[in-house]
Structure 1
Amino acid sequence: MDLFDDLPEPTQTSAPPPSSVPAHTAIDEEEDRGLKRRRGDEEEEEEEELKKVCREGLPVLRGYVAARRGEREEMQDAHVLLPDLSSCLTSLPSVSRVSYFAVFDGHGGARASRYAAEHLHLNLAKKFPSGHTENGDRLIKKCLLDTFRQTDEDFLKKASSQKPAWKDGSTATCVLLVDDMVYVANLGDSRAVMCRTETAEDGQKKTVTLALSKEHNPTIYEERMRIQRAGGTVRDGRVLGVLEVSRSIGDGQYKRCGVISTPDIRRCQLTSNDSFIILACDGLFKVFSADEAVKFVLSVLQEGVMDQKAGLTEQEVRFEAACQQLASEAVRRGCADNVTVILLSIGC
């Protein structure tokens, strides 16, 4: 199974990066040649860095979150919004920006989801590649794989040391933005979807919904085969007739049955055609299809005049309203589960 799936290329891309700055010209004074060349190189490097940070189309993700307990006695979801992860990195990489957003849907308790929310991004920061490298993309993917494995192992050690041992587990869906490249790593049935505008053959604009994650449940053939090879069984669509997901953080009692913590990782280069990403637990998608959720958000964004809030732009007010209304609508439609929605606006 290829864990490193790329999403389809957009039909329209944003403007290409600016071309390199021309080499500085020769100078007349021989004694100043070396000094001015060094200054010219430094200025060229600084200008290139500025272009890298400020070039047209470099996206900014702004996160909005809404959480509803639903009819559950306990809120077992957890979430993280870190628009700037650089403060957590042990060494600053050769990129302009790193952002991180995540949703964790706990089961059997809230301890696994809370642990993952507190520690996964810290493990990611420790393992994040630094410096200039030609294979940075593969290193980031390896970093994500190692991060999920480490977080799972650490939680299982803590869980097994308790008396009685903790049996909590959690899904995980994480969005990592590195400059204009989005990496989505997920376990279980929480999901991430993106709204993108494309141009049809007749020239008309249309919005499409892109799945950024892959669901893991034991009814999927590859997942069921792995579970059965490990000696587990699938009954009523569940591992051993109990667990609904086939990959998770925690769930120590099911790890021997083929439940793993290896995430699927997908990447997608953001463009000016991308509007927003919805990152949510299955509580939302039990009552919304991905397309319905995207259309619901679009309808709120396109509503008439909204009451302004101090310190927020009109666009920020609209995205905040869309996020809150989407979560509330999921509860209104009868979802009894916890509902957590992160709505990420994409802009410059």
Structure 2
Amino acid sequence: MDLFDDLPEPTQTAGGCMEKTSQPSAVDRGEKRKCQVTEEQEEKKVCKGLARLKGYVSARRGEREEMQDAHVLLPDLSSCLPSLPPQVCRLAYFAVFDGHGGSRASRFAAEHLHHTLALKFPKGEVENLDKLVKKCLLDTFKQTDEDFLKQASSQKPAWKDGTTATCMLVVDDLMYVANLGDSRALLCRVEQEGEDECKKCVTLSLSKEHNPTCYEERMRIQKAGGTVREGRVLGVLEVSRSLGDGQYKRCGVISTPDLRRCQLTHNDKFVILACDGLFKVFTAEEAVRFVHSVLQDVTVEAREGQTAEEGRFEAACQRLANEAVQRGCADNVTVILVSIQF
């Protein structure tokens, strides 16, 4: 199975303008380069046109005694890096973690995963950046899992927490989604139908659910000596991949994420990252249509300091989480809504 599934290629190139991020210092004069990039050229490169990303979050504890979800919104991850490769202008990072067995694994992932990612991100002049970013994501998940398990095993009694992870890393306008477990990522892309210019909202899945009932997942678990009973690993764990869950690692539960890659286009409107609490009462298409309908509601009032569009995005995020609770979801519900504007 190829972990590096690409979503449909864009039909047009990106446009617009993005605020300049920090750039690495100029190379030494003695270094041979075909082209010396001046500050003016660098500025033009940065402002050539990146999608503007803004994240909104809504979290509900539901009927659970504890909030075990965690989330991260970092529209400028470059602030965590000393420098970026010369060909990269912007890094953004958004993530949702759905803990089980406690909240320690999800909190640990929210606090540490992006820092590990920043340390492992390619530096300096590099070739085949795409391949290196994918390796960086895989290594980051592995390292985060190992670091948490080391801390968990040192406790008395040992922590038995685990967490799903759905992380969205945007390198300029190329989006990578790495996920473990059953939290999900969805992209809303508006496409034109026919010559009458009628537009429809298309839902693209950016993640893959890791359920022990899936054939490939079940086979791996059984080969490792584990069993799947009533749709759960050893009759207990609902997911077949996770961070943490040290007691299930010997049973075939792994921390290797699936990776998806997608070029952002002018037709892309927003991304939803959410834990499974949302999808217990919403299908993917229903969730996207719900958000899209709120964004079309011109009666939504923005808070002071917000634009009308920002007010609608925030309202859509809050209303989606509220609707999940009203539909009877008793689980924790966390929704991240990322707006995409060119």
TM-score, normalised with respect to structure 1? 0.89
1:22-74 per-residue CA deviation (whole Å, 9 max, x = no partner) reads xxxxxxxxxxxxxxxxxxx76x7444422322124x11210000000000000
Residue in 2 aligned with 1:304? 298
Query: How far apart, in 1, do the equivalents of 2:153 and 2:290 lie?
Result: 43
Identify the match of residue 128 of structure 2 among 108, 128, 135. 135
The correspondence of residues 260-271 of structure 1 with structure 2, limited to 5 A, is 260-271=254-265
The correspondence of residues 240-251 of structure 1 with structure 2, limited to 5 A, is 240-251=234-245
Query: How far apart, in 2, do the equivalents of 1:188 and 1:254 lie?
Result: 14
1:85 to 2:77 alignment? yes
Query: How far apart, in 1, do the equivalents of 2:129 and 2:252 lie?
Result: 31
Amino acid paired to 2:226: G
Query: How far apart, in 2, do the equivalents of 1:9 and 1:116 lie?
Result: 31
8 A contact 2:192–2:200 mirrored in 1: yes
Query: How far apart, in 2, do the equivalents of 1:116 and 1:15 lie?
Result: 32
Residue in 2 aligned with 1:23? none
8 A contact 1:90–1:126 mirrored in 2: no
1:106 to 2:105 alignment? no
Query: How far apart, in 2, do the equivalents of 1:347 and 1:184 lie?
Result: 19
Residue in 1 aligned with 2:7? 7
Q: What is the Cα deviation at residue 75 of structure 1?
A: 0.1
Amino acid paired to 2:329: C
Q: What is the Cα deviation at residue 310 of structure 1?
A: 1.5
1:141-172 per-residue CA deviation (whole Å, 9 max, x = no partner) reads 00000000000001001101111110000000
Query: How far apart, in 2, do the equivalents of 1:59 and 1:304 lie?
Result: 23
1:330 to 2:329 alignment? no
1:319 to 2:313 alignment? yes
Query: How far apart, in 1, do the equivalents of 2:336 and 2:218 lie?
Result: 30
8 A contact 2:160–2:245 mirrored in 1: yes
Residue in 1 aligned with 2:68? 76
Change (3 A) 1:115 1:50: same
**Structure 1 alignment gaps of length 5 or more:** 18-40
Query: How far apart, in 2, do the equivalents of 1:257 and 1:276 lie?
Result: 37
Change (3 A) 1:316 1:16: closer
Alignment partner of 1:261: what SS?
Answer: coil
Identify the match of residue 280 of structure 2 among 274, 286, 292. 286
Query: How far apart, in 1, do the equivalents of 2:38 and 2:322 lie?
Result: 49
8 A contact 2:14–2:51 mirrored in 1: no
Residue in 1 aligned with 2:118? 125
CA RMSD of the aligned region, Å? Answer: 1.5
Query: How far apart, in 2, do the equivalents of 1:83 and 1:177 lie?
Result: 9
Residue in 2 aligned with 1:63? 55
8 A contact 1:65–1:342 mirrored in 2: yes
Q: What is the Cα deviation at residue 249 of structure 1?
A: 0.2
1:292-337 per-residue CA deviation (whole Å, 9 max, x = no partner) reads 0000001111113232322111111110000000000000000000
1:229 to 2:228 alignment? no
Query: How far apart, in 2, do the equivalents of 1:92 and 1:271 lie?
Result: 23
Residue in 1 aligned with 2:335? 341
Residue in 1 aligned with 2:151? 158
Query: How far apart, in 2, do the equivalents of 1:201 and 1:175 lie?
Result: 32
Alignment partner of 2:259: what SS?
Answer: strand
Identify the match of residue 173 of structure 2 among 180, 201, 205. 180
Alignment partner of 2:152: what SS?
Answer: helix
User: Which structure has the larger Rg over C-alpha atoms?
Assistant: 1
Query: How far apart, in 1, do the equivalents of 2:235 and 2:280 lie?
Result: 20
More helix by share: 1
Query: How far apart, in 2, do the equivalents of 1:313 and 1:304 lie?
Result: 12
TM-score, normalised with respect to structure 2? 0.91
Query: How far apart, in 1, do the equivalents of 2:258 and 2:82 lie?
Result: 25
1:180-223 per-residue CA deviation (whole Å, 9 max, x = no partner) reads 00000000000000000122344532210000001101011100
Alignment partner of 1:228: what SS?
Answer: helix
Q: What is the Cα deviation at residue 16 of structure 1?
A: 7.9
**Structure 2 alignment gaps of length 5 or more:** 17-34
1:224-255 per-residue CA deviation (whole Å, 9 max, x = no partner) reads 00000000000110000100000000000000
Q: Which aligned segments of 4 or more residues in structure 1 are displaced greater than 4 angstroms?
A: none
Q: May I ask how many residue pairs the two structures share in their alignment?
A: 322
Residue in 2 aligned with 1:50? 43
8 A contact 2:145–2:255 mirrored in 1: yes
